């Protein structure tokens, strides 16, 4: 009977199953560490992580808030200082005053209403006409200024007529543009004139026709007639003299311009007005001033 031989087959390279407990045991053996040391090391690691994750201390937080607050308050105070104080150290350059000059004048003179508050505009203009020394056939322009909100500006034509307290119809005043000109033409005396701009010819013309009833009286102080009386060497400059010699307005043609004029008993012009063009009205006291203004307009057109 054959004996059954049992052979034990061995596998020298077979791996053993590794476990967490086995790894710990191996570590303890290799590094000669105890369980207590491992526990202590884990605790130290946890404490270090806690210190890294811990929020800043209240003292540091309060200090940072204090620094930020100081910076914000300081910045605000500087902005207030810069806004209110620095502009006074470096004032902005004043804007140039726009002076409307409808025709070419030989010189321009300011009449400031703020520095002459004790006088009416009529008195100021009358004084300029009576006292100004102007070369023959020259034209001086007088522009009128007044401060509004601390800024000096030239007054408008509506302000001008309102300050003169004229009885011009409202429909006429509403047609006027802001720009106007008051000037003096020297020809056998100082002859004043007014130039107004309009944007509605028909309404402005109708308004001037209505104003004819009072325009001579309204403007007699600044637009008096300087013609001599035929029977004397005196000038007809007073209101009573003008009214005494006044007749209804008549139609004339001067240098191809249709003119409405008042004449005295000797058919001499004492007041006239005309439309230099459909947007420009001239009011003056004689035909010589009208001719000079027309010549200046024509010469300026040629130069352009």
The pLDDT assigned to 87 comes to 57
What the block records as the tokens of 58 is: 């209240």
Q: Which span out of 77-86, 171-180, 222-231, 237-246 was modeled with the highest average pLDDT?
A: 171-180
What tens digit of pLDDT does each residue of 2-49 get? 545 445 555 554 555 666 566 666 665 665 556 666 666 666 666 665
Q: Do 79 and 154 belong together in one domain?
A: no
What tens digit of pLDDT does each residue of 132-146 get? 999 999 999 999 999
Q: Do 47 and 62 belong together in one domain?
A: no
Asked whether residue 208 is domain-assigned, the answer is yes
Asked whether residue 15 is domain-assigned, the answer is no
The pLDDT assigned to 67 comes to 83
CB 173 within 8 A of CB 161: yes
Taking CA 202 as the corner, what is the angle to CA 196 and CA 205, rounded to the nearest 5 degrees? 50
What the block records as the tokens of 294 is: 């027309």
CA dihedral 66, 68, 71, 72 (to 10 degrees): -110
Task: Give the structural domain span for 31.
Answer: 20-53
Task: Decide if pLDDT at 215 tops 70.
Answer: yes
Q: What is the largest CA-CA distance in the chain?
A: 189
The pLDDT assigned to 30 comes to 60
Q: Do 30 and 129 belong together in one domain?
A: no
The pTM (predicted TM-score) of the whole model is 0.66
* Measured distance CA(204)–CA(195) in Å, rounded: 13
Q: Do 122 and 252 belong together in one domain?
A: yes
What the block records as the tokens of 36 is: 């207590």
With a CB cutoff of 8 Å and minimum separation 6, the contacts of 248 are: 212, 262
The pLDDT assigned to 136 comes to 95
With a CB cutoff of 8 Å and minimum separation 6, the contacts of 172 are: 203, 204, 206, 207, 208, 210, 211
3-state class (DSSP) for residue 30: helix
Q: Do 119 and 268 belong together in one domain?
A: yes
**pLDDT-above-70 percentage for the chain:** 68
Q: Do 27 and 149 belong together in one domain?
A: no
Q: Do 149 and 167 belong together in one domain?
A: yes
Q: Do 140 and 266 belong together in one domain?
A: yes
Asked whether residue 1 is domain-assigned, the answer is no
CB 247 within 8 A of CB 263: yes
Question: Binning pLDDT at 50, 70 and 90, where does residue 281 land?
Answer: very high
Taking CA 157 as the corner, what is the angle to CA 156 and CA 162, rounded to the nearest 5 degrees? 100
Instruction: Supply the DSSP symbol for 230.
Output: T
Asked whether residue 269 is domain-assigned, the answer is yes
Asked whether residue 73 is domain-assigned, the answer is yes
What the block records as the tokens of 25 is: 């045991």
The pLDDT assigned to 69 comes to 82
- Ramachandran angles phi, psi of 71, nearest 5°: -65, -40
Q: Do 239 and 187 belong together in one domain?
A: yes
Task: Decide if pLDDT at 173 tops 60.
Answer: yes
The pLDDT assigned to 196 comes to 98
Long-range contacts, stretch 30-36, CB < 8 angstroms, 24+ apart: none
Q: Do 149 and 33 belong together in one domain?
A: no
Q: Do 169 and 47 belong together in one domain?
A: no
Asked whether residue 156 is domain-assigned, the answer is yes
What tens digit of pLDDT does each residue of 286-297 get? 999 999 999 999
């Amino acid at each position: 009977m054959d004996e059954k031989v049992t052979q034990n087959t061995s596998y020298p390279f077979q791996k053993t199953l590794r476990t967490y407990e086995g790894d710990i045991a191996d570590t303890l053996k290799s590094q000669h560490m105890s369980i207590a040391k491992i526990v202590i090391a884990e605790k130290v690691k946890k404490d270090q992580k806690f210190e890294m994750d811990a929020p800043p201390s209240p003292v540091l937080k309060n200090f940072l808030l204090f620094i930020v607050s100081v910076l914000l308050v300081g910045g605000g105070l500087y902005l207030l200082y810069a806004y209110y104080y620095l502009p006074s150290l470096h004032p902005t350059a004043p804007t140039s005053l726009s002076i409307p000059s409808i025709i070419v004048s030989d010189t321009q003179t300011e009449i400031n209403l703020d520095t002459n508050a004790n006088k009416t505009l009529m008195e100021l203009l009358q004084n300029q006409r009576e006292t100004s020394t102007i070369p023959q056939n020259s034209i001086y322009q007088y522009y009128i200024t007044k401060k509004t909100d601390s800024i000096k500006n030239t007054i408008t034509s509506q302000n001008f007529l309102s300050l003169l307290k004229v009885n011009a119809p409202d429909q006429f005043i509403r047609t006027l543009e802001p720009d106007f000109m008051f000037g003096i033409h020297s020809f056998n005396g100082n002859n004043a004139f007014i130039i107004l701009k309009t944007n509605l010819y028909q309404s402005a013309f109708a308004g001037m026709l209505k104003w004819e009833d009072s325009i001579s009286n309204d403007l007699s102080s600044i637009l008096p007639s300087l013609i001599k009386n035929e029977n004397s060497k005196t000038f007809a400059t007073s209101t009573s003299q003008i009214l005494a010699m006044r007749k209804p307005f008549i139609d004339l043609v001067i240098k191809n311009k249709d003119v409405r004029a008042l004449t005295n008993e000797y058919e001499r012009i004492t007041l006239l007005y005309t439309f230099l063009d459909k947007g420009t009205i001239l009011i003056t006291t004689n035909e010589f001033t009208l001719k000079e203004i027309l010549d200046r307009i024509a010469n300026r057109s040629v130069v352009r």
